[in-house]
């Protein structure tokens, strides 16, 4: 929760149960960019997928895999995708986790997608991918164990008996053709449920042209400084008033919101600094004056930082992009907030870097009580990332770099309009006890909102590119009434 009206507090996780054996958790989803073209070096690549099920328990599925390089050339695992097909429960969202893997859980991604042609035993899939750190496979080599699992996000029981890829008798590894594998795009292993070739051009991961123009906000943040009159004229407020969240006694310093060119783009920078006390701590925030944003697509390109620009590291920092409205009373049911929050050094009980997406129904500040749903990934997100949030009348979906990160339930949909915000602040001063000054940067390239239209990440990126090609640095056609 990133609102300027509250102080920092432990993250609550209603509906989720801790898993002590979890080595790393990755929450993701439907990729919305086409797979890359098959590299020439991988032209003779082929793989086999070996599968076993670890458990047929009632609250989670545990498909374990090994990928075998059955081709004649060394294979880059970052080119490989595996799809496991299943029948979803009505209205359910799912969470992926990696319990342990020879190649490292941090190098394995799990994303959920929807089939173009649902069948009696499959309407969703879990797609397993690999980051560059997973390395390569020599001919004949395999990845070793990938001990994976997924569950309903609300931890309600699930039934695997009607899942296409589930093999209840597969208690040891063996080749399994009810999962598919692709290398650089083309499918090289397995059979998908009827009518669902992963490389079919109707696959929902293929981007389409953006919908017709509708009311939108776009800002390229092409300003000279925080005092530039155009900032206020374009509907932004650079915060200077005191209050939470964060370190008691800290100030919100508008002069620390700056603008500079990086290449051809104008970049907004939010600097947060401290010398180990509330009096020396300066937070930063910029937000829209109007609360007129509700359903539709929100997108921003944001640069997160793991380390300070100067001084010792370790502070419990929060870097954000979010929408929010005001809490009119404790547990008011018309409150709404939707967050991307990156904690590079942990905080809220987390020991290290973690990215949260959280959808809020309501809360009570004292005594603390919250109603929300969140997704998380414990990994570094240092660098530039494309963040997309879509809200319609059925669901809330978060994307990071074109892949689904979290899908939250309809009960968290907004009843009232909201503002759009970016801020950077310190939860507390417990992470680093030094009195040496240090400062942290969060950069923002652009922000986009398209009212009442759900765009894929690829469509949102295309819309931003169209604004820039036309030389448009700012547009706001969203009506004041929301």
The residues pairing with 218 across neighbouring beta strands, listed in sequence order, are 448, 475
Q: Is 464 helix (H, G, I), strand (E, B) or coil?
A: helix
Question: Could you tell me the pLDDT band of residue 199, with boundaries at 50, 70 and 90?
Answer: low
Per-residue model confidence (pLDDT) at position 432: 95
Confidence band of 404 (pLDDT split at 50, 70, 90): confident
Torsional class of 185: left (φ above 0), alpha (ψ -120 to 50), beta (otherwise): left
- Given pLDDT bands bounded at 50, 70 and 90, which one contains residue 201? very low
Tell me the per-residue pLDDT of 17-66, one tens digit each, with 9 for 90 and over. Answer: 222 222 222 223 323 332 233 333 334 568 999 999 987 667 889 999 99
What is the predicted pLDDT for the residue at 12? 42
Res. 212: pLDDT tops 60: no
Percent pLDDT > 70 in the chain is 87
Q: What is the pLDDT of residue 8?
A: 37
- Can you spell out the DSSP letters for 256-315? GEEEEEETTEEEEEEEEEESSSGGG-EEEEEEES---B-SEEEEEEEEE-SS-SBS----
pLDDT at 117: 86
Q: Output DSSP code: residue 161.
A: T
Q: Quick check: 449 and 460 in contact, CB under 8 A? A: no
Whole-angstrom Cα distance, residue 408 to residue 412? Answer: 7
pLDDT, one tens digit per residue, over 120-142 is 999 999 999 998 889 999 999 99
Tokens 């959280």 -> residue: 358
- Give the C-alpha distances (Å, rounded to integers) separating 186 from 66, 164, 181, 194, 221: 19, 21, 9, 17, 40
pLDDT bracket for residue 10 (50, 70, 90): very low
pLDDT per residue over 79-120, tens digit each? 899 999 999 887 777 888 898 999 998 889 888 888 878 899
CB 75 within 8 A of CB 136: yes
In a 10 Å sphere around its CB, with 0-12 CB exposed, 13-18 middle and 19+ buried, how is residue 213 labelled? exposed
- Give the per-residue pLDDT at 92: 78
Output phi, psi for 229, to 5 deg. Answer: -60, -25
Separation between Cα atoms, residue 207 and residue 219, nearest integer Å: 23
Helix (H, G, I), strand (E, B) or coil at 125: strand
d(C-alpha 124, C-alpha 88), whole Å: 6
- Enclosing H/E stretch for 475: strand 474-476
Nearest to 355 by CA among 385, 325, 335: 385
Write out pLDDT tens, residues 255-292. 999 999 988 889 999 999 999 999 999 999 999 999 99
Task: Give pLDDT tens digits for 297-334.
Answer: 999 999 999 999 999 999 999 999 999 999 999 999 99
pLDDT value, residue 2: 53
């Amino acid at each position: 929760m990133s609102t300027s009206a509250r102080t920092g507090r432990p993250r609550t996780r209603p509906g989720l149960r801790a898993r002590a054996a979890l080595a790393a958790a990755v929450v993701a989803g439907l990729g919305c960019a086409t797979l890359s073209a098959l590299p020439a070096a991988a032209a003779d690549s082929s793989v086999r997928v070996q599968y076993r099920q670890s458990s047929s328990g009632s609250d989670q599925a545990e498909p374990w895999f090994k990928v075998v390089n059955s081709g004649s050339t060394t294979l880059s695992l970052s080119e490989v995708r595996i799809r496991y097909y299943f029948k979803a429960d009505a209205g359910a969202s799912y969470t992926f986790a990696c319990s342990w893997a020879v190649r490292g859980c941090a190098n394995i991604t799990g994303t959920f997608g929807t089939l173009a042609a649902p069948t009696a035993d499959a309407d969703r899939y879990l797609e397993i991918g690999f980051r560059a750190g997973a390395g390569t496979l020599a001919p004949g080599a395999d990845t070793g164990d990938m001990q994976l699992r997924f569950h309903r996000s609300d931890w309600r029981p699930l039934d695997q008996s009607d899942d296409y890829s589930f093999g209840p008798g597969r208690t040891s590894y063996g080749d399994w053709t009810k999962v598919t594998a692709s290398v650089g795009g083309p499918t090289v292993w397995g059979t998908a449920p009827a009518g669902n070739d992963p490389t079919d051009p109707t696959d929902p991961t293929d981007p389409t042209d953006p919908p017709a123009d509708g009311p939108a906000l776009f800002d390229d943040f092409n300003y000279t400084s925080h005092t530039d009159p155009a900032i206020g004229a374009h509907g932004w407020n650079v915060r200077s008033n005191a209050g939470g969240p964060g370190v008691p006694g800290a100030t919100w310093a508008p002069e620390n919101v700056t603008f500079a060119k990086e290449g051809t783009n104008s970049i907004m920078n939010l600097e947060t600094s401290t010398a180990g006390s509330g009096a020396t701590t300066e937070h930063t925030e910029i937000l829209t004056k109007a609360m007129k944003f509700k359903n539709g697509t929100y997108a921003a390109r944001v640069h997160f930082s793991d380390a300070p620009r100067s001084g010792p590291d370790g502070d419990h920092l929060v870097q954000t992009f979010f929408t929010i409205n005001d809490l009119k009373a404790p547990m008011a049911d018309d409150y709404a907030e939707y967050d991307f929050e990156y904690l590079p050094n942990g905080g809220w009980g987390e020991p290290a870097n973690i990215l949260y997406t959280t959808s809020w129904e309501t809360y009570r500040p004292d005594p603390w009580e919250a109603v929300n749903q969140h997704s998380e990934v414990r990994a570094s997100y240092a660098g530039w990332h494309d963040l997309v949030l879509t809200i319609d009348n059925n669901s809330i979906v978060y994307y990071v770099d074109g892949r689904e990160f979290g899908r939250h339930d309809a009960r968290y949909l907004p009843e009232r309009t909201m503002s759009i915000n970016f801020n950077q602040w310190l939860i507390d001063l417990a992470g680093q006890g030094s009195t040496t000054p240090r400062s942290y940067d969060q950069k923002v390239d652009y922000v986009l909102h398209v009212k009442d239209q759900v765009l894929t990440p690829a469509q949102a990126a295309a819309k931003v590119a169209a604004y820039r090609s036309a030389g448009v640095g700012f547009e706001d056609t969203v009506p004041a009434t929301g």
